């Protein structure tokens, strides 16, 4: 209990910070940019998070195996397994987001109403960059946690505060063109 509880507490704090990092943008967008932009952001964010979550399957399925490798001091094998999983996962996420971007471009080009339910292509591009950054952070966080340690708590809390503050500032100034750019820059 003394070994697990402090780590679980830090992971919970990191998770709560992550929640604010990922999901605070839509309510802020609703307040400052209106329901249409917020809806487009919510749809785009959900689609991008779905691609990222699917890509993280290459990482999350290795977590128990990596924990055993750490316990058995098989660090070379752990490193090889991690690099392979990150490459496969990143390839999937990058390919998936590229496919979604091209699909949205084609939908918008065809004049389909479905394309209007997502962010504009420039904003979607910046959101995709942020998702790729979030994906890489999630990969390394899982790797670190396999070592029975949680080093991401402080960084997650700081990132949550920066995200909330910056997104509120950009929204307050009504710079909707910079909203996703700032999110990508923060990530």
> Each residue of 84-93: pLDDT tens digit?
999 999 999 9
In this prediction the pTM is 0.88
For residue 186, give Cα distances in angstroms to 34, 37, 62, 86, 183.
Answer: 23, 20, 28, 22, 5
Containing structural domain, residue 122: 4-186
| Helix pair angle (4-23, 153-172), 10° resolution | 20
Tell me how far apart the alpha carbons of residues 49 and 93 are, in angstroms, rounded to a whole number: 10
Contact 123, 179 (CB under 8 A): yes
Contact 96, 54 (CB under 8 A): yes
For the chain, the domain total comes to 1
Give the tens place of pLDDT for each residue, 25-37: 899 999 999 999 9
DSSP state of 118: S
Give the tens place of pLDDT for each residue, 57-114: 999 999 899 999 999 999 999 999 999 999 999 999 999 999 999 999 999 999 999 9
For the cut 90, the answer to whether the pLDDT of residue 175 exceeds it is no
């Amino acid at each position: 209990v003394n070994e697990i509880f402090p780590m679980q507490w830090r992971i919970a704090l990191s998770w709560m910070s992550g929640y604010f990092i990922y999901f605070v943008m839509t309510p802020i967008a609703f307040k400052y940019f209106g329901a249409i932009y917020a809806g487009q952001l919510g749809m785009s964010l959900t689609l991008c998070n779905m691609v990222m979550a699917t890509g993280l399957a290459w990482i999350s399925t290795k977590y128990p195996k990596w924990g055993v490798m750490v316990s058995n001091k098989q660090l070379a094998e752990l490193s090889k397994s991690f690099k392979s999983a990150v490459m496969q996962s990143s390839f999937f996420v990058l390919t998936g987001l590229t496919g979604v971007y091209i699909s949205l471009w084609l939908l918008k080009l065809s004049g389909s109403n479905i394309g209007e339910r997502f962010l504009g292509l420039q904003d979607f591009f910046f959101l995709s960059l942020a998702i790729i950054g979030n994906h890489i952070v999630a990969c390394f966080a899982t790797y670190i946690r396999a070592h029975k340690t949680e080093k991401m708590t402080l960084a997650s809390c700081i990132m949550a505060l920066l995200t909330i503050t910056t997104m509120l500032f950009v929204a307050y100034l009504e710079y909707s063109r910079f909203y996703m750019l700032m999110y990508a820059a923060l990530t």
